[in-house]
Amino acid sequence: MALFKDEQIEDIVQKVMARLNNKDTVPKVKQHTPGESNNPDDNKTIEFTDITEYSLFEETFIKDPIDQDYISRLKRLTPARIGLGRTGPRYLTIPWLRFKADHASAMDAVFSDVSKEFLDKMDLFTVKTVVRDKDEYLTRPDLGKVLSEEAKEEIRKQCQLKPQVQIIVVDGLSTKAIEANVPDFLPALLEGLKAQNMEVGKPFFIKFGRVPVMDDVNEVIQADVVVELVGERPGLGTATSMSAYLCWQPRRGTVESDRTVVSNIHESGMPPIEAGAHVASLVKKIYDKKGSGINVSL
C-alpha cells in the first residue's frame, strides 16, 4: 500500500481548506461522542470557521471510553494531547487538522516580526543586536546577545542612565508572545513599581535578541535591576508564552544562575496582569537584597 509523504498530505489539506473557504456555508464536521448512536445520521454535528477555536482539552475523541469521567479529569490536568482517539493507526480528522494548525502557529511565532504599529502603541523605541536577519538569528544564538554600536548610541541618547530599574522587551523566539502579553503585563508592572516608589528608566524594544542581551544593555545603562520580557520558544501547546527575566546589575560574564525568571506568562498559564504585579514585587525584593537568581532567597 502506497503511503502519502508529508508534503503530499499538506498539499491535500491546503486544497480541501481552500475549497471550504470558497463556500458560503460554514464547514461542518461530524464527530461521534460517547453515549450516542453509531448511526451516522444520529452523530453530533460540530460547526466551526477556524479549527484553532475548537478546544482539544474539553472533548474526548475516544469512541465509547470505559471511563469518560476519568479521561475528562486527566484532560483538565494537562495541556498534553491525550484522549484523541484514532482511525486505524492514524489521527482522527479534527485532532490532525488541529495539530497542523498549532504547528503552523508556532512557525508563525518564530518567523514573524513584532509590528511597528504595536511598538508605537506601546511607546517602545527599537534597537537591534548585531544579527542581520532572521536566518542568522536562528543559526547564531551568540549574536543575539550582543548589541550593535548603533543600538548603544540610541540607548544613550534616549534612556536615563543608572535608574533603579530598567525594562527591556525582546522578541526572542515568539513575537506573538510579546504582542499578546505586553499590553497587559507592562502597565501592571509599571504600576507595581510605582507603588514601591521605584525609579524606572524608559522601556524599549530589542529586535533579534536573546536573554543575555540584558548584560550588554546594562554595560551602557548601569541599572540596579534589569527586567527583560522575552518571547519563549513556541510549542504545540501554546505559541504565546512569555518569560520575565530579572537580574541584579547584570554585566558581561553574568551566568544564567544569577537570573531570576518567571515563565509561562500567557492567558492559559500565569495571566499577564497577575504576572506583572508579581514581577514588580520580585524587583523590590531583588533591589532590597541586592542579588538575584540562586544568590538570594525570594
Please report, for the chain, the start and end positions of each structural domain, with discontinuous segments joined by +.
6-110, 114-295
Q: How far apart are CA 46 and CA 32, in angstroms?
A: 10
Instruction: Kindly state the DSSP code that residue 101 receives in the 8-state scheme.
Output: H
Q: Which residue, among 190, 182, 246, has the nearest Cα to 214 in the 3D structure?
A: 246
Q: Considering only CA atoms, which of 75, 201, 219 is closest in space to residue 145? A: 219
Within 8 A by CB and 6+ apart from 26, the residues are 47, 48, 49
The structure's pTM equals 0.76
Q: What is the pLDDT of residues 27-52, one digit of tens each?
A: 444 444 444 444 444 445 555 567 76
- Which grid cell is 117? 504599529
Bridge partners of 87, per DSSP, are 90
How high is the pLDDT of residue 202?
A: 97
pLDDT score recorded for residue 257: 96
Share of residues in the chain with pLDDT > 90 (%): 56
Alpha helices by DSSP H, listed for the chain, are: 6-21, 68-77, 93-111, 116-121, 134-139, 149-158, 175-195, 213-221, 272-289
Report pLDDT digits (tens) over 165-202: 999 999 998 999 999 999 999 999 999 999 999 999 99
Location of C-alpha cell 518567571: 262
Fold designation for 114-295: Rossmann fold (3.40.50)
20, three cell numbers = 471550504
Residue 244 · residue 250 · CB < 8 Å:
no
Instruction: Give CA–CA dist 148/197, Å, rounded.
Output: 33
List of residues 6+ apart from 286 with CB closer than 8 A: 225, 246, 248, 260, 292, 296, 298
Which whole-number Å values give the CA distances from 177 to 11, 106, 108, in the listed order?
Answer: 29, 11, 11
Q: Rounded distance, CA 285 to CA 112, Å?
A: 36
CATH class (in words) of the domain with range 6-110: mainly alpha
Report the pLDDT value the prediction gives residue 62, as an integer from 0 to 100.
84
What would the pLDDT profile of 56-82 be if each residue is shown by its tens digit? Answer: 777 788 888 888 888 888 888 887 888
Once rounded to an integer, what is the mean pLDDT over residues 235-242? 82
